[in-house]
Structure 1
């Protein structure tokens, strides 16, 4: 069974206000992204690839998931890492999300699997100043570390929505998940806001599984649908709805456990705030039950 950790990291931000690593399972202490929409002033943002792995946070002493659980990486993987907190993605390569999750979940690390992992670092949570100024600090820090499997995420600029879509399509064709936009003037704030935006060919979000709905007809004796609960966000209250598509036969025989988190795809929201054409995508193993 997973253990929850109460983490007591307190870092002073640029404005002098405390940045607190909160209790695992509560509001995430990491910076979280909203969804990109046309009309965003792209000149204000840096753009990078969205790496499809497991969110990782190095607190200066140990490696943690987004939910605050310790990652049991081999000692050699984090040897020589700095006391400076690092925010990034534990990544096994394009199209290797399942491999990354399986590797990170192991209570006893498997060296051979970790040899294929990289920690793609995109921010320094404890570093003061705007993101544009944090980028060169991050690059210098990782260059000094000289650890091949710890790499800075490359940042660039894009001028127009059309150019952004061209970059997105190229990234997806090469097997990438999407893009991220990071406002250059933003400080590191442990909340979800428009300082960080994800750009994908479809919308997705997370919800907690609260019930299994039995199947009928060809799915008799199997899972018919998941009843899930999405947390309140962006002016919408907590929402409950069904996910009935997107499952493999194996997932219908052995559905995600109650209390676990899943990612679902959808096409916008209806007037009541519920996702349209929602379908199951995958289990979020990096989020605490």
Structure 2
């Protein structure tokens, strides 16, 4: 089968087209014919060698939407022909694999591109709220980076869970965040969120680039509140009794828990994701997608067979 990968670390041009065997299924596996896949910053960092040099062929990718081609003997909830989205494996290829605990059905009204766009940011946002943030109805939730992939989904999920959401971001993104249903917004390039939001939040979700300003998070949360953050600043010290949880991959929450909620909300037009780029399922498309990842960009980057 056709796959996009690389054998050494570097820039976007390390990607090449390879002919590799179609995966052989274990009894719990699902084989998905890829229709669209999403690109993530983890894959950009991996390609660039930030987690160590690549010395053998790597076919990356987790976020995939497509058609079930085949299932293992122990799979009971899916059949060939089903439209699915998954937090799978090796999605930069004609066929990807997944399992029942990371795959859900896509309703006909949701495109493959939109489904592929929500996988990693959706799971991250859901876990940030439920597992790391323990959000409760009626709470005040401040979301930093509210216009980004994780932040925009966290904002919408929190609203649907019955929280009052305050978004923080740049002034250029205010109208977009408000279009998601967030009624209160602080533009950090116009005002000082730390001063305006002092002791305001029960929960702060920090999904801003690199987890910007942990001290600001502590200032904005109420005494005894919770911060769920992508930052990993071990020097964080506070005298407010604040619980600080670092958002990271966890097996404590099944991927399907997040994906089912998000897909259902999306199908009912209660949640959306901004797709910035839909590129062709070609080597040029993959290289261009990673070139976009290497710079600041607006919206998710998707590779699709329908382009």
- Structure 2 length-normalised TM: 0.27
Identify, as 1 or 2, the structure richer in helix: 2
